[in-house]
């Protein structure tokens, strides 16, 4: 088109295939502000908005060559991040007031992980595990001591004590208690060793042993309370999904937080489509689509 000298003023509209929680728009707007000329116009829905299938979430009016080359990138930003944010929102809704933390970084490419975490935060998660994801979300990264540390030390208590000695005090002392022993016994051992410094124990029993159940949470809670450690919280991870979260909630299990990984990271992208709807002031569309601008009073002028 550039070689042929074809560069009309074109209106492009972007819409999703499915309902969801909009995410990625912040990046899209930043890109458009860099590439569009001063006489361009754009409207968009805000990051975190609930959106409906086929709803126009972005409209751009500008010389086509100023933004057309970025169409694929724009759709990819919105598709992946909206998919992750929507999955996170499902987990958050299932847990009610119980916090959900994004643990999905290990399931995706490291260059992708920060955007996964950012999207999870837009979806309502209270924390995420990557430093850049946390920075994008204007928060601090959160996580727990890993099982590998306990395995390398050969004892969970020794690993927890070393973690406490060498890690900055503002970092949460959250210890996995399923590496070697019964979770309830290990929880008490760690609590006795760390005292008031222990903020939480993490239950992550593998599926080979039946996974984490409401009954296990109740057992650990009872043992901690009986030993005088009622202030120690219980964090559940390992194959957590909205369905499993609802099971814990329905059983009134005393869970203080959930770590969700693969349910968010493996969420299907919400397919976004970009259509040209107007060329030099004339309504237009490809076959099967309605020519002309699609009204959406929720759109706000951004450029």
- Over the stretch 235-281, which tens digit does the pLDDT of each residue have? 999 999 999 999 999 999 999 999 999 999 999 999 999 999 999 99
In a domain, 163, yes or no: yes
Supply the pLDDT for residue 286: 92
| Average pLDDT of the residues in 44-52 | 98
| Average pLDDT of the residues in 210-217 | 95
| 144 confidence band (pLDDT: 50, 70, 90) | confident
For residues 265 and 116, the answer to whether their CB atoms sit within 8 Å is yes
If one counts the domains in the chain, the total is: 2
User: Are 190 and 296 part of one and the same domain?
Assistant: no
In a domain, 1, yes or no: no
For residue 236, what are the β-bridge partners? 203, 258
| Average pLDDT of the residues in 8-37 | 97
Supply the pLDDT for residue 281: 95
User: Are 201 and 144 part of one and the same domain?
Assistant: yes
Please write down the HEC assignment for all residues of 81-118.
Answer: HHHHHHHHHHHHHHHCCCCEEECHHHHCCCCCHHHHHH
* Mean pLDDT over each residue of the chain, to the nearest integer: 95
In a domain, 220, yes or no: yes
Residue 213 above 80 pLDDT? yes
State whether residue 276 is helix, strand or coil.
Answer: strand
In a domain, 56, yes or no: yes
| Average pLDDT of the residues in 204-231 | 95
Supply the pLDDT for residue 6: 82
The CATH number assigned to the domain holding 232 equals: 3.20.20.70
What span, in angstroms and rounded, lies between the C-alpha atoms of 107 and 109?
Answer: 7
In a domain, 4, yes or no: no
Residue 1 above 90 pLDDT? no
Residue 46 above 90 pLDDT? yes
User: Are 151 and 116 part of one and the same domain?
Assistant: yes
Domain encompassing residue 226? 84-265
User: Are 105 and 233 part of one and the same domain?
Assistant: yes
User: Are 123 and 215 part of one and the same domain?
Assistant: yes
| Average pLDDT of the residues in 58-64 | 97
User: Are 162 and 293 part of one and the same domain?
Assistant: no
| 103 confidence band (pLDDT: 50, 70, 90) | very high
Pairing type for strands 233-236 and 257-260 reads parallel
User: Are 30 and 131 part of one and the same domain?
Assistant: no
Supply the pLDDT for residue 143: 83
User: Are 128 and 251 part of one and the same domain?
Assistant: yes
Give percent of the chain above pLDDT 70: 100
| 5 confidence band (pLDDT: 50, 70, 90) | confident
Supply the pLDDT for residue 38: 87
User: Are 152 and 64 part of one and the same domain?
Assistant: no
User: Are 56 and 198 part of one and the same domain?
Assistant: no
Supply the pLDDT for residue 228: 96
Supply the pLDDT for residue 19: 98
User: Are 174 and 143 part of one and the same domain?
Assistant: yes
User: Are 96 and 207 part of one and the same domain?
Assistant: yes
Sheet (strand 300-301) strand order? 282-283, 272-279, 9-16, 58-63, 41-44, 300-301
The CATH number assigned to the domain holding 19 equals: 3.90.1170.20
| 2 confidence band (pLDDT: 50, 70, 90) | confident
In a domain, 112, yes or no: yes
pTM over 0.75: yes
Supply the pLDDT for residue 187: 97
């Amino acid at each position: 088109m550039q070689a042929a000298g074809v560069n009309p003023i074109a209106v492009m509209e972007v819409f999703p295939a499915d309902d969801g929680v909009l995410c990625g728009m912040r990046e899209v707007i930043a890109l458009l502000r860099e590439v569009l000329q001063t006489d361009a116009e754009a409207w968009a829905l805000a990051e975190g908005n609930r959106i409906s299938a086929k709803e126009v979430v972005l409209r751009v009016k500008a010389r086509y060559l100023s933004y057309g080359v970025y169409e694929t990138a724009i759709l990819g930003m919105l598709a992946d991040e909206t998919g992750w944010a929507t999955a996170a929102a499902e987990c958050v809704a299932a847990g009610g007031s119980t916090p959900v933390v994004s643990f999905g970084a290990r399931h995706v490419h490291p260059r992708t992980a920060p955007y996964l975490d950012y999207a999870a935060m837009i979806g309502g998660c209270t924390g995420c595990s990557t430093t850049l994801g946390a920075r994008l979300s204007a928060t601090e990264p959160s996580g727990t001591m890993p099982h590998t540390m306990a395995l390398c030390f050969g004892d969970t208590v020794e690993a927890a004590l070393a973690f406490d000695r060498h890690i900055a005090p503002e970092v949460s002392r959250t210890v996995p208690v399923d590496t070697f022993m019964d979770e309830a016994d290990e929880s008490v051992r760690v609590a006795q060793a760390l005292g008031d410094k222990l903020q939480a124990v993490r239950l992550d029993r593998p599926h080979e042993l039946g996974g984490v159940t409401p009954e296990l949470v109740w057992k650990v809670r009872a043992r901690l309370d009986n030993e005088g450690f009622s202030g120690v919280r219980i964090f559940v991870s390992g194959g957590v999904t909205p369905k499993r979260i609802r099971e814990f909630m329905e059983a009134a299990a005393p869970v203080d937080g959930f770590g969700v990984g693969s349910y968010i990271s493996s969420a299907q992208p919400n397919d976004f489509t970009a259509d040209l709807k107007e060329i030099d002031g004339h309504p237009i569309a490809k076959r099967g689509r309605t020519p002309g601008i699609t009204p959406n009073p929720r759109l706000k002028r951004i450029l």
